[in-house]
Amino acid sequence: VHWVSIGNMIKLLYDKATGFVVCGGTDTMAHMIAAMRFMFPNVGKPIVATGAQVPMVELGDDGTNNLYFAITAAASDLSGPFLMFGDKLMDGMRVHKVQDRRRNAFTCPTQYTLGHYDSELRIYPHAPRRNPIITAARLVYRPHFREGVKVVKISPATPSESILYDASDPSCSAMLLITFGAGNVRDEDVVAEVPSHVDCLWQLYQRRYPVVLGSPMMDGVVDSHYEAGTKAVSREEGKGNAISARSTTGPLLEVKCMVAMAEAWDDEKEAIDYDKFRASMERDHVGELT
């Protein structure tokens, strides 16, 4: 993964640089900056991602301003991964791409906007500040990710049994199921003798195939007060036994699944260890569950 190459460079230059700017394509930028948080959980300097909707070589570009603002942020009193895009400084763990062409391509829940740029960079009081105690010798570096997570979205147009077919993909060993509503999956048969979503989740659990339930909303929480949603993540016999992503959503959740996959992979068996994967997904690694 290119993320590891970026991480290696940051680790190598950590004591020599005031901060770091990482430029990249916007389609996977939210994933990349979330990965920086997992790689450097105790980083004491800013790692600022940015990019452009219009390249610098074209008239009316936004790349020039974005790069200038990102450099300003990387030299300021901040620590952690951030995205500087348009005029907003955002928590790198909570960003979502929402526009394909317009300049404000990324957004995040209001509480994760940490500053903005007008005539100067204005950092909000709740933004994390530098920690000079963290040097290269004390910097924690965990460049461990693994592919193999099938991302599936539940839709009213999709039969519940399709979950079972998605789980048969030989290149994937776990599933991230993005559910409509507040993690509410169907627990009743629409057609006689056709299994519900919860039935399918139970079948996959019996096969020790891990399924993570995530919300499509930026501020979504999967743990549902609806009966069906409760059944989906219940660990009782015959219930869904799915793994709740809780408040972790979007690219951050997908990256966390890759981290959990790396932690749970058994090289000798060339298979995933279900219990280790579940334990990793239920653990708060870098504040993603808060």
pLDDT band at 62 (very low <50, low <70, confident <90, very high): confident
Residues 6+ apart with CB under 8 A from 1: 35, 145
pLDDT value of residue 151: 96
The tokens for 247 are 């408040």
Q: What is residue 202's predicted lDDT score, i.e. its pLDDT? A: 93
pLDDT at 224 over 70: no
pLDDT score at 1:
60
CA distance 258 to 250: 13
pTM: 0.93
Bigger pLDDT: 170 or 196?
170
Strand partners, 90: 83, 113
Structure-block tokens of residue 286: 């870098």
Burial status of residue 54 (CB atoms within 10 A of its CB: 0-12, 13-18, 19 or more):
middle
Percentage with pLDDT > 90 across the chain: 73
- How large a percentage of the chain has pLDDT more than 70? 97
pLDDT beyond 70 at 229? yes
Q: What is the pLDDT of residue 190?
A: 64
Distance separating alpha carbons of residues 44 and 136, to the nearest angstrom: 10
First to last CA, the chain: 27
Task: Output DSSP code: residue 89.
Answer: E
Alpha carbon separation from 217 to 22, 77, 98, 166 (Å, rounded): 26, 31, 12, 22
Please classify residue 280 by burial: count the beta carbons closer than 10 Å to its beta carbon, then call 0-12 exposed, 13-18 middle and 19+ buried: buried
Give Cα separations from 198 to 107, 151, 160, 274 (angstroms).
33, 18, 9, 19
pLDDT mean across residues, the chain: 91
155 vs 40 pLDDT, higher one: 40
Q: What is the pLDDT of residues 95-135, one digit of tens each?
A: 999 988 888 899 999 999 999 999 899 999 999 999 999 99
Only one residue has tokens 């910097």, namely 139
Q: Dump pLDDT digits (tens) for 183-211.
A: 677 777 666 677 888 899 999 999 999 99
Q: Is the pLDDT of residue 141 over 90?
A: yes
Q: Of 217, 274, 264, give the one whose Cα is nearest residue 245.
A: 217
Neighbour-count burial for 252-262, b at 16+ CB within 10 Å, e otherwise: bbbbbbbbbbb
Q: What is the pLDDT of residue 206?
A: 95
- pLDDT for 195 equals 84
Higher pLDDT, 229 or 254: 254
